[in-house]
Amino acid sequence: MTLLHAQLDKPTLLRLSFSVSPGALTSSDIIVTPAVEVRSLHVEGNALFVETAEFSLCREYTVLVRGMGMMPVDGGPCLKSLRPDVPMGCTLLDGDYIFRLFAPRATSVRLYLYNSPEQSMGTEYFLSPSKDGVWEISLRSALTEKYYAFRIEGPHGHAEMFNSQITVGDPYAHAVVTANIWRHPGRCVLPGLIPSYDWEGDAPIAISPADLVIYEMHVRDMTAHPSSGVPAERAGTYRGLIQQGMRGGIDYIRNLGVNAVELMPCQQFASIELPYQRHVSDGLYNYWNPYERNHWGYMTSYFLAPEPRFSEYANNTPGEWNTAAPAHINEFRDMVKAFHRAGIAVIMDVVFNHTSQYDYQPLKYIDRKYYYRRRPDGEFTEESGCGNDFATEMPMARQLIVDSIVHWITEYHIDGFRFDLAAMIDRQTLMAVKEAAEAIHPGVILIAEPWGGGKYDLGKFSALWYAAWNDIFRNGVKGRDPMHSKGYIFGSWGESLPEDFGKWMLGSTEEKNGPFKDYAHAVNYLESHDDYTLGDFIRIATGSARPGQVIGDVDQNVRLRPDQFRIACMAAVMLLTARGPIMLHAGQEFARSKVIADHGVPDARPGVLDHNSYEKDDETNWLNFEHAEWNRELVAYYRGLVALRKKYRTLRHAPAENYRFLAADVAIAGGFVVKGVEGETDLVVLVNGNLEHPARFNLPPGEAWAVLVNEHAAGIEPMRRQRTDTINVEPGCCLILARERQ
């Protein structure tokens, strides 16, 4: 008989698992180090349950069973059983500030209050341990200080990060002031200083998923470039984004006709990374990021706090404290309210699969072993590719995620969420998020990025009634790689089959051999913040640029050739006539090009097309609205297609049985007739992906048709009318027809 495993189910209950039933063991056969009194035993199958005196969660133990082996005691099950039911963070109650921190393995927790963020030492208080791993203190609310932070002491040893000399913020803080250095030290704003707000009757917007046309965008990039027209003091800010009468920002977005924006990360994140090619403490070495920046924000530091870097009052000077908090809270609210008044829902891109890696991320210093997934050697797992993986399955990690979602809905009227690398979030957490969010906002939008950590499962999220990014559509229509794996719009089936055309256009549902239970779950897209822009994909695929090539004339590179314009239009037609939610990425409508700017840093490769600009700042990522003017015909084409989709509910809600797919007389050409719903007229969509030959389609006989979209323009007004039973579509071109009513 061999001892296989030892785990702590409760602080006074040790479970030992053996290869066979343990038989007649006695208390004297069980030795725990450091010493813990063994009180009683009972056997269930191959398990021995040992009632003991209380184990300390902040110590490491081993257990020896005479003649059967020795094992370290796994405290994880006991930690997982802790489920405190009190509010975390700092709350105001009956004239008191109550500070609570869940730190189940800590040996001491100290609170510091500060008058200013620059103070190195504040007024010190010791928290007391409460039940279920919570540390707590109550102070009268008539405090003179404005900010607070914690220091946590705990067990030392391999893979521990407890450090009583490091001050960290509160994971539940609503506003945090941070220093502009890579360690990102934080001072949390006391709740009594959080400003009140008049929502003026505003409420979250409910939009049917199938009706969504989402514009994915970065807050700063939309107005940082001078061409946006936003004054320099507001450029790149929440308020700059909603300043009316500007060339860029909210007016530009509204004029496109989209009904939702998806904000790239606005949870407070670590925007500065460690020095490039210089050794720093902790053995860290940055060999990958010469910019020392994280512009996109997929490195969350505080789940409930908005990013102050986008405040009008932000101080982003290196080495100084950004004291925009808490004024930026109402700036964020103003932004949401302005979008709502424009009829545009606000979706947040949230990152819960991992947290920020190099800064004083509070969860790591509160309890790394509780909040993060670890390898057998105790180090972080890195399946996210971002240095650490958040243990969403742990009850208080799950609760933090759920509380964060509830907070953004209630305090900021957020309409929906896109979950980064959602395959790394456990099923129970996803369901808890859905239940809590829908209880507050029944029409909440929930979208998963359905991969991450080596996992990929679109169907899983559809089964949970989440929408998900549909890369089946993306890869089929555009292709995987502009050099080696081109898709339909480039005259190739690529990795697809002719019958896949119908799958793409009907929302990749199970009835078309796709993964989605409902087409409303398939978020169809061709471009996102990741990888090449669609415009650059087209440029590379058609030979006007190459990966790694230095672009000599950036302005000329932006301007589309006639063949590239036709391909871009074909992509837009397929995207905006497919069933399911639609997502555009900012600048897709003018074939945005991302050319690496000369930031004056080593190893930057200026002039090269960028497929992953997460670490670069304004000059590579911002939107230049001069480029929108240079490709204004494409902008108008997108605007016309969005208007067409909005006008015809048929394109968004017709059932599959209303569709009849049309064959052409050449390969790589497809189309369909869709019968109108709710009294609307029938529509025909024809897409000739063959770049060499025209395609002839047979239309329903004896009908008169109005041409709404051709290779030059798109809209809701007829360009011409014709009566024909057959029609030709030129190479690489599209037509959309509406049946003329008799």
- Give the model confidence (pLDDT) of 260-280 as tens digits: 999 999 999 999 999 999 988
Place of tokens 């129970």: 428
Report which of residues 74 and 422 the model is more confident about.
422
Give me the pLDDT at residue 67, please: 87
User: Which stretches of 90-205 are DSSP H helices?
Assistant: none
The answer to whether 3-80 and 82-197+267-306+355-367 have equal CATH topology is yes
Give me the pLDDT at residue 103, please: 97
Whether pLDDT at 281 is above 90: no
Give me the pLDDT at residue 1, please: 79
Residue pair 459/515 in contact (Cβ under 8 Å)? The answer is yes
Give me the pLDDT at residue 336, please: 98
Give me the pLDDT at residue 296, please: 97
Q: Calculate the CA 622 to chain-centre distance.
A: 19
Structure tokens at 729: 């579509």
Mean pLDDT across the stretch 517-544? 97
Whether pLDDT at 671 is above 80: yes
CATH superfamily entry for domain 82-197+267-306+355-367 = Immunoglobulins (2.60.40.10)
The average confidence (pLDDT) of the chain is: 95
Q: CA dist 634 to 365, 543, 557, 640, Å?
A: 50, 20, 15, 10
Residue pLDDT, tens place only, 360-409: 999 999 999 999 999 888 899 999 999 999 999 999 999 999 999 999 99
Q: Which of 567, 528, 535, 570 is nearest to 551 (CA)?
A: 535
Residue 284 pLDDT level (bands cut at 50, 70, 90): confident
What secondary structure letter does DSSP report for 740?
P
Residue pLDDT, tens place only, 196-211: 999 999 999 999 999 9
Give me the pLDDT at residue 283, please: 78
Residue pLDDT, tens place only, 314-341: 999 999 999 999 999 999 999 999 999 9
Structure tokens at 353: 């699969």
Query: Domain spans of the chain?
Result: 3-80, 82-197+267-306+355-367, 654-739
163: three-class secondary structure by DSSP: coil
Whether pLDDT at 24 is above 90: no
Residue 599 pLDDT level (bands cut at 50, 70, 90): confident
Residue pair 314/308 in contact (Cβ under 8 Å)? The answer is yes
Distance CA 633, CA 398 (A): 47
Mean pLDDT across the stretch 79-102? 94
Give me the pLDDT at residue 95, please: 86
Residue 742 pLDDT level (bands cut at 50, 70, 90): low
Residue pLDDT, tens place only, 128-148: 998 899 999 999 988 999 999
Distance CA 125, CA 90 (A): 14
CA angle 7, 368, 187 (to 5 degrees): 145
Distance CA 406, CA 436 (A): 7
Give me the pLDDT at residue 565, please: 98
Residue 629: phi and psi, rounded to 5, are -70, -40
Structure tokens at 471: 């890369």
Give, in words, the CATH class of 3-80. mainly beta
Residue pLDDT, tens place only, 210-233: 999 999 999 999 999 999 999 999
Residue pLDDT, tens place only, 488-519: 999 999 999 999 999 999 999 999 999 999 99
What secondary structure letter does DSSP report for 176?
E
CATH topology of domain 654-739: Immunoglobulin-like (2.60.40)
Whether pLDDT at 190 is above 90: yes
Question: Across 66-145, where does the E strand assignment appear?
Answer: 69-72, 89-93, 96-102, 108-114, 123-126, 128-129, 134-140
Burial of 552 (0-12, 13-18, 19+ CB in 10 A): exposed
Distance CA 340, CA 374 (A): 42
Peptide bond just before 326 cis, omega within 30 deg: yes
Residue pLDDT, tens place only, 546-574: 999 999 899 899 999 999 999 999 999 99
What is the Cα Rg of the chain in Å?
A: 29
Give me the pLDDT at residue 574, please: 98
Give me the pLDDT at residue 179, please: 97
Whether pLDDT at 600 is above 90: no
Give me the pLDDT at residue 510, please: 96
